[in-house]
Structure 1
Amino acid sequence: MTAAASRLAGVGVDFGTTNSVVALAYENGEVESLSWPSQFGATDTYRTALMFWREGRRIAHASGPAAIARAVAGDGEQRFIQSIKTYLASRLFSETRLYGQRFTIEQLVATFLSDLLADLRLSAGANAVQIPILSGRPVVFAGEDPDEDLAVARLQSAYALAGFHDVALAFEPFGAAYWYARRLEREETVLVADFGGGTSDFSIMRFSRKDGALTARPLAHTGVGVAGDSFDYRIIDHVIAPKLGKGAFYRSFDKRLPIPAYFHAAFAQWHQLSWLKTAQTLGELRKLIQSAEEPEPLEDLMSVIQHDLGFELYRSVGALKARLSDEESARFSFSREGIQIEADVSRAEFEAWIAPDLKRIGACVDQAVAAAGLKPAAIDAVFLTGGTSFVPSVRALFTERFGGPRVHIGDAFQSVASGLALIAAERVGAGQTG
């Protein structure tokens, strides 16, 4: 905390599917983000990931950059878990067992949040729990048939388990909107698009100033469970999964049968990959390898699961997406534990793969504008935040609807948490934030 001359007034937490951010707002109006050490230097984004392993009779864990470091090193038997936020709204997932110990979804999230906010607790001491904290939540939670009330209850319970009992929740795009609007001197109607790992959320706000104070009137909020992870899935499905046995066949009692789809369906979803590392699943995979027509791809799949290579694959997919945002074509390359996957991918191919996702995102944007009772021409500014906003075809959704000059791209990761911290500092209640 560098703004020591001013007292801490509010904290904003962007608990994300892929990355999480904590911002601190001070009484003098300054805002800064917490940072953490990593193997690549200090970082102000905390990877939403957990790693568990056994130390004697106890179960140890690491989170954020430390979990990533262990995942990359691949030291010994361990369990890597990421995208835990995706499970909050699922009635089908309530708990899991790690090395024989039961962990509820609330306990997993609380373990992560406790580590994420450890520096805040260390710096503020006993006062940490008294500082107003505003945590973001998606407009629509990720997953099929998400239970919003269940997700909110689980998230609030997780904060309480982590020692923070009075955390208020606000829509994530509202935080980004407030951050964008903090320097406005005139009235503006702003559409904010917040692209996360699991969801894409949209808010339309009317901002104005009265006696120097910024006021906000929400006009519409919409969201859809399509975002960066969905784009990753398309790359996995077209480039990686076929190299790991998708579409292969095995023999059973003289019958030629396809490899069960659930292996690759789960494998393609980052947050499900870690759950494949069970004795039952690995035993089934070994039997399939023995009877497969082409066992080598399935052996590679086994290696990916056993060696917790999910993050390494994730990083390679992310690098490909980033290059395709700047180049017309790029090469995908992955090489670990004897697994070699190489493929040339064009931006046109990638855009064809994500076309169904873009259609859903565009429809959700149109729904927000209609729900606000506006026409596109009435939107004064569009503010995009989140890593997916850098994908050219995503930006095109907004420039085609609202015109290029009105579209602004903010800090990919800091906007939401920074805006939430300002709101918390000004003591805007959760009921007023949406």
Structure 2
Amino acid sequence: MSAVDHRGVREAALGLDFGTTNTVVARSDGQGASRLIDFVGTEATGAIFRSALCFWEEEGGWNGIAHDAGPWAIAEYLQSPLDSRFVQSFKTVAASPSFERALIFNKPYRFEDLGRLFLQSLVKHAGGALDDRPRRVVVGRPVEYAGARPDPALARERYDLMLAAFGVELHYVYEPLGAAYSYAERLDQPATILIADFGGGTTDFSVVRVAEPGSARRCTPLAAAGVGIAGDRFDQRIVTQLVLPLLGKGGQYRSFGKLLDIPGGYFTDFADWSRLAMMRTRKTLEELRRLQRDAVDPAPIGRMIALIEHEQGFPLYDAVGRVKRALSDAEHAEFRFSGGGVDVEAEVTRAQFEGWIADDLMRIEAAMDAALVKAGLEAEAIDRVFLTGGSSLIPAIRRLFERRFGAERIATGGELTSIAHGLALIGETPDIAQWTD
């Protein structure tokens, strides 16, 4: 059943899945169907729009700075890494009180500034498909935001400012509920389902009761829970365990005749993409050069300096992502990176990777249990489990759910697009208030 406006006409709606890694947009037709918005141009990657921004100095740009987003941002950055500033995963600071603004070419950008510029580019690259948007826009949000001590009210305020010009009527819905609504379209009989959404910054769970097809109220949300651990955290584990030892982690330096451990703060920042992007400052590089001069083994610190100076963060993390994906298909993989005068390689096994993320998986399972407890259900009461998001393809995650629910109850598919589809369809429902956070 679709939403009805004040004239009695059923409305279309837009579903916006603004993700940490990727953003996807779907549009419903007011008749119970939705379609993805495909982006157009030489750099386009279909309906998947990378959640990234690139800035460069240009006289005709706003305040002398031009920008682009998505795969176009990546192309611009790779063309001129030293003359541009690349920002990705900025959604992870949406709820962070400690984040006030990022300085890019000495100009301050708040979260909402980054978000508005990102959406402007997203609309530009949609080939006109988003110029005439429905008045109702349903925006996905995580159940639990990423970061230490996240503030959901602050995130909501920043989202409102970011989206002020994007939709007349904004509704916020938990992301796994969007996936639940999308998955319900596959079911031909009543079921109680658990949705597990593995994003870039958070892992979220929703428990939903699905009625039989044709029911006036097809889906009823029962409970939700989440944790700020997902794909980006798994990347950080690889960087910390595999890459940072090649850049000086665990090394020592001499100071006043004593041997001291190299401070861990530099490695903490390097393992966090949002902080790594801001390490290319005169102060940080001077501190690292002093450490290099006094280091027992100066070569690894030299590699870190070269990576920062030559803006190699994105290619490095891209190589880390390739290793992570390779380990979903094979028992071992080779990490290789070459850039900025740095060449590193290392062998990694799936067993090592699973050991590095073991504590993270325990916290993810605890969040799943919290969703079941809130719903008042045992695992046996769940008829189907739908896994979505890129990290749902990791074998250790798949085994976790098979152990708890059995392989026969697990479904997958549309890992990157199911949420946007469901959000657009939720936008048609007349009782949308039951879905909003």
2:109 is equivalent to residue 103 of structure 1: yes
Given that 2:196 and 2:205 are in contact with CA atoms closer than 8 Å, whether structure 1 keeps it comes out as yes
Match of 1:326 among 326, 329, 332: 329
Given that 1:179 and 1:419 are in contact with CA atoms closer than 8 Å, whether structure 2 keeps it comes out as yes
Counterpart position of 1:132:
136
Counterpart position of 1:19:
22
TM-score when normalising by structure 1: 0.93
The structure whose residues are more often helix, as a share, is 1
More divergent stretch after superposition (200-209 vs 32-41) = 32-41
Gaps of 5+ in 1: 1-6
Q: How does 1:58-97 map to 2 (within 5 A)?
A: 58-97=64-103
Given that 1:39 and 1:65 are in contact with CA atoms closer than 8 Å, whether structure 2 keeps it comes out as no
Match of 1:141 among 138, 142, 145: 145
Deviations 1:140-199 (A, max 9, x none): 000011111111111111111x44353211000000000000232321100000000110
Match of 1:296, SS state, is: helix
CA distance in 2: counterparts of 1:281 and 1:27, whole angstroms: 54
Counterpart position of 1:156:
160
Counterpart position of 2:276:
273
More divergent stretch after superposition (285-294 vs 307-316) = 285-294
Counterpart position of 2:358:
355
Deviation of 1:80 after TM superposition, in Å, equals: 1.0
Deviation of 1:212 after TM superposition, in Å, equals: 4.5
Deviations 1:350-392 (A, max 9, x none): 1111100111111111111121111111100000000110001
1:22–1:297 CA distance, 2 compared to 1 (3 A): same
Given that 1:276 and 1:305 are in contact with CA atoms closer than 8 Å, whether structure 2 keeps it comes out as yes
Deviation of 1:314 after TM superposition, in Å, equals: 1.6
Deviation of 1:284 after TM superposition, in Å, equals: 1.6
Match of 2:187, SS state, is: coil
Deviation of 1:124 after TM superposition, in Å, equals: 5.2
Deviation of 1:431 after TM superposition, in Å, equals: 4.7
Match of 1:217 among 204, 217, 220: 220
Counterpart position of 1:263:
266
| Residue correspondences, number | 425
Given that 2:17 and 2:23 are in contact with CA atoms closer than 8 Å, whether structure 1 keeps it comes out as yes
Deviations 1:103-143 (A, max 9, x none): 11211122112222335693454x42x43110100000000
Letter aligned with residue 78 of structure 2: V
Letter aligned with residue 361 of structure 1: I
Deviations 1:271-323 (A, max 9, x none): 22111122222222222222222222112111211222122112111111111
CA distance in 2: counterparts of 1:47 and 1:65, whole angstroms: 6
1:292–1:425 CA distance, 2 compared to 1 (3 A): same
CA distance in 1: counterparts of 2:130 and 2:198, whole angstroms: 31
Given that 1:49 and 1:68 are in contact with CA atoms closer than 8 Å, whether structure 2 keeps it comes out as yes
Deviations 1:14-61 (A, max 9, x none): 111111111111134332222224766533211111111112470111
Match of 2:390 among 376, 387, 390: 387
1:341–1:427 CA distance, 2 compared to 1 (3 A): farther
Deviation of 1:408 after TM superposition, in Å, equals: 0.6
Letter aligned with residue 83 of structure 2: E
Match of 1:108, SS state, is: helix
1:68–1:8 CA distance, 2 compared to 1 (3 A): farther
Letter aligned with residue 432 of structure 1: W
Match of 2:186, SS state, is: coil
CA distance in 2: counterparts of 1:11 and 1:120, whole angstroms: 14
Match of 2:278, SS state, is: helix
Counterpart position of 1:4:
none
Letter aligned with residue 98 of structure 1: I
Match of 1:193, SS state, is: strand
Letter aligned with residue 135 of structure 1: V
Gaps of 5+ in 2: 1-9
- What is the alpha-carbon root mean square deviation over aligned residues? 2.0
Letter aligned with residue 350 of structure 1: F
Deviation of 1:72 after TM superposition, in Å, equals: 2.4
1:15–1:358 CA distance, 2 compared to 1 (3 A): same
2:52 is equivalent to residue 49 of structure 1: yes
Given that 1:170 and 1:430 are in contact with CA atoms closer than 8 Å, whether structure 2 keeps it comes out as no
TM-score when normalising by structure 2: 0.92
CA distance in 2: counterparts of 1:120 and 1:47, whole angstroms: 13
CA distance in 1: counterparts of 2:310 and 2:46, whole angstroms: 26
Deviations 1:193-244 (A, max 9, x none): 0000110000000011474445221111000011111111111011101111
Counterpart position of 2:3:
none
1:314–1:16 CA distance, 2 compared to 1 (3 A): same
Counterpart position of 1:309:
312
Deviation of 1:74 after TM superposition, in Å, equals: 3.4
Q: How does 1:161-200 map to 2 (within 5 A)?
A: 162-200=165-203
CA distance in 2: counterparts of 1:430 and 1:99, whole angstroms: 42
Counterpart position of 1:3:
none
2:207 is equivalent to residue 204 of structure 1: yes
CA distance in 2: counterparts of 1:331 and 1:430, whole angstroms: 49
Match of 1:12, SS state, is: strand
Given that 2:40 and 2:126 are in contact with CA atoms closer than 8 Å, whether structure 1 keeps it comes out as no
Counterpart position of 1:35:
38
CA distance in 2: counterparts of 1:39 and 1:337, whole angstroms: 27
Match of 2:327, SS state, is: helix
CA distance in 2: counterparts of 1:422 and 1:267, whole angstroms: 40
CA distance in 2: counterparts of 1:20 and 1:308, whole angstroms: 24
